[in-house]
Amino acid sequence: MEKKQRNIVIAIVVVAIVIIAGIGVAVLYKPSNNSKTIYWITVAPINQEAVLKAGTAQGAVGWEPYSSAALLDGNANLLTWSEDVWPNHPCCVLAVKYDSHFPDNATNEDLIARIVRANMDASNWLIQTAATHDQNYTALLQMGAKFSSTPSFPISQAMVADALNHTGYSNDITPQVKGWFVNFTNMFASLNQLNSFGGYSNASNYVNAMINTTYLQKALLVQPSNTILNPKQAVNVGYLNGDLHQFARVIAMNKTLWGGKTLFEKYGVNITSPAAFAGGAAEMNSGFALGIINIGYLGAPPALLLRANSNILVQIVSLVNTEGSAILGDKAITSFDQLVGQTVATPGPGSIQHLLLSYYCQQKGYTLKLKGT
Amino acid sequence: MSARSTSYLAWFKNPKNKDRVLTYVFGLVAIAGFLIVWAVAADFLNIVYLPGPYEVFKAFIASFSTPDPSMGTTMWQNIWASLQRFLYGFIIAFLVAVPLGLLMGFSKGFERIAKPIVEIFRPIPPIAWVSLFLVALGLFWGPIVVIFIGVFFPLLSNVIFGVKSVDKYLIDAAKTLGAKRLQVFTKVIFPSTVPYIMTGITIGLGIGWMCIVAAEMVSVVGGGVGYYIYINGQIGRFADMYGGMVMIAILGIATVGASRFAENRLAARMGMK
């Protein structure tokens, strides 16, 4: 072998040895054995029951109706509802983003106010029907079951009924709700997931800049319209696939309830929904950031996190729901303490469910780590 | 002029050495130019999705000592996790594609049976299989099988092509000398196919690294560079996301470079170059 080629081979071997040694030290060095660790993996809530059944995870934290579905199917035990950890916590919101294709002008603001009003009416109908079990109750359960079901994972009316017992529907952005948004933002900051407070000095100023309550006030003054005010350019509305937190949108879209029109059409708004999103982060990154949607139903935490990190300048214009998540164990797990050393399926970092799990672990004195690390 | 500089000049005047030096110099100039364009574009556009090279470099270096806030792993741990998956997927693809390719190239009858099935699955991108494999095969084997799919088809194609490219005169000569069918295969066809196998390995390695992000993006055990890229993209930590992409590039260059080196050496030894 020529001298030059031999030198090259020696150099490659030396570099390879250094890299392997470095990796070996990093992998072989184990910190002191922490027996108070719970592990997590990312699994969409619709798949979490299957994962519990298969034994891939021993716990799960997801949103309704999939938590109730797993419980009623007998494949999970309840460890805690989110309302027991964080009473009356907000969850999903309506957020709007203006850009060059959907500019912030009087016309579009009026359309958004009308959408907020449609959501409000749908929420009120939902709250009343769920509370009184009146003649519309069966129709309500059928709508929820149809919305959340897939051929592989059917959802029954009983599951929807149970989900409604643990999910609140509310539109007002009260000082308490704002306080929760500040808490979520600070939690992300303490987890080092937040790059900054979006150019503001603290979480409170950031949240104040993000919330716009004027639409809730305008919505109360909106009147139904016999004509569609935006016939040529629809407002694009995003939502999460199968998520009953956003049940109000499903109800608003039902023409049978509202005399042959959707509630949006009743208030004169032409809307379209390009796609359902798998999660809030996807809705922010793919939906809002790319201009595919103008207004969307999504979890408050991903909206808070990604507005700051990605500069996707959404405004929160309405609350959509409160509570409605649960931490579950598989059939063998009956208390949270039994999850030590086990694996919990979560929708992933950035979601309110993952934040709930992180918080709950911290309260209990446990460490939450990615499985396999 | 000193004796040393004279000897360097003489060395440089050798066309092969000159070509090699110019290749390296132009390569470095191209990379430097790319970094400058990137820095200017990042500064001019001033958007969060395009951090500048220095920001990415800082995040990349920090990732080796500071655990990622979402995953809790350092880049060393992510490299190890991805390497394991990659090697498993690659080795299984090699063990299946090479014998299958040799059979399909050598036996017309077997090719008639296997080819339609191969052609059905070939156009389906590896990423399309991710969700299915995760549910069907679990968190450990799911990503490995996605990498297997990515490496398998290019390797198979090259092996088949290698078998069919064997000089017919060599086969005829072997037969004339009394070689049986199996001897023709082991003494003529298989040795002639080895350089094509090496080419298939080189291509497969590159595609395998491209599949890592798809393979790891749904969920994984123990971290991984692809998952690191996906999670940081999801929560808007873009400098870290780009740092992960740089790591994939380094790993790809290192493995493909090593394979190409071995391929060239083998081809030279076998008189193919």
What's the half-sphere exposure (Cβ side, CA atoms, 13 Å) at A339?
Answer: 33
A72 touches chain B (CB under 8 A): no
Does the pLDDT at position B138 exceed 50? yes
Q: What distance in Å separates the CA atoms of residue B203 and residue B197, rounded to the nearest whole number?
A: 10
Residue A364 is predicted with a pLDDT of 94
For the entire predicted model, the pTM comes to: 0.81
Residue B272 in contact with residue B170, Cβ under 8 Å? no
Does the pLDDT at position A152 exceed 60? yes
Q: What distance in Å separates the CA atoms of residue A325 and residue A211, rounded to the nearest whole number?
A: 23
A22 touches chain B (CB under 8 A): yes
Does the pLDDT at position A1 exceed 60? no
Higher-confidence residue of A124 and B143: namely A124
What percent of chain B has a predicted confidence (pLDDT) above 90? 43
A192 touches chain B (CB under 8 A): yes
Q: Quick: pLDDT tens for B14-34.
A: 888 888 888 989 999 999 999
A81-85, B24-28, B125-129, B229-233 — most confident range: A81-85
Average pLDDT, integer, range B121-127:
87
Q: Quick: pLDDT tens for A205-256.
A: 999 999 999 999 999 999 999 999 999 999 999 999 899 999 999 999 999 9
A7 touches chain B (CB under 8 A): no
**In DSSP terms, which residues pair with A321 in a beta bridge?**
A169
Which tokens is A196 given?
Answer: 């900054």
Write the CA distances from B228 to A218, A283, B69, B89, integer angstroms. Answer: 43, 20, 10, 19
Interface test with B, best of A48, A355, A370 (most B CBs within 10 A): A370
Closest Cα in chain B, distance from residue A9 (Å): 10
Instruction: Give the orientation angle of helix A300-310 with respect to helix A352-364, to 10 degrees.
Output: 100
Does the pLDDT at position A27 exceed 70? no
Average pLDDT, integer, range B4-11:
75
pLDDT band for position A32 (cuts 50, 70, 90): very low
CA torsion through residues A362, A91, A95, A345, sign: positive
Q: Quick: pLDDT tens for B168-189.
A: 888 889 889 998 888 888 888 8
Q: Quick: pLDDT tens for B198-229.
A: 889 989 888 888 888 788 876 678 889 999 99
pLDDT band for position B74 (cuts 50, 70, 90): very high
Closest Cα in chain A, distance from residue B136 (Å): 10
pLDDT band for position A82 (cuts 50, 70, 90): very high
Nearest to A258 by CA among A172, A143, A132, A156: A143
A28 touches chain B (CB under 8 A): no
Residues of B with CB below 8 A from A281's CB? Answer: 234-235
Q: What distance in Å separates the CA atoms of residue B250 and residue B245, rounded to the nearest whole number?
A: 9
Residue B264 is predicted with a pLDDT of 82
Q: Apex CA B80: angle with CA B154 and CA B89, to 5°?
A: 25
pLDDT band for position B262 (cuts 50, 70, 90): confident
Q: Quick: pLDDT tens for A104-116.
A: 999 999 999 999 9
Closest Cα in chain A, distance from residue B235 (Å): 6
Q: What distance in Å separates the CA atoms of residue B41 and residue B35, rounded to the nearest whole number?
A: 10
Residues of A with CB below 8 A from B73's CB? Answer: 370, 373
The mean pLDDT value of chain A amounts to: 92
Q: Quick: pLDDT tens for B28-67.
A: 999 999 999 999 999 998 877 889 999 999 999 999 999 9
Which residues 86-115 on chain A approach chain B with CB closer than 8 angstroms? none
Does the pLDDT at position A323 exceed 90? yes
**In DSSP terms, which residues pair with A319 in a beta bridge?**
A93
pLDDT band for position A274 (cuts 50, 70, 90): confident
What's the half-sphere exposure (Cβ side, CA atoms, 13 Å) at A272?
Answer: 7
Write the CA distances from A39 to A56, A283, A366, integer angstroms. Answer: 12, 26, 10
Does the pLDDT at position B247 exceed 70? yes
Q: Which of B80, B139, B236 shows the shortest C-beta gap to A310?
A: B236
Average pLDDT, integer, range B156-167:
92
Least confident range from A46-60, A142-156, B121-135, B240-254: namely B121-135
Task: Give the residue numbers in B contacting A (CB under 8 Å), as ranges.
Answer: 47-49, 69-74, 76-77, 79-81, 83, 135, 138-139, 218-223, 231, 233-238, 258, 261
Average pLDDT, integer, range A110-129:
97
For the beta carbon of residue A158, count every other beta carbon within 10 angstroms.
14
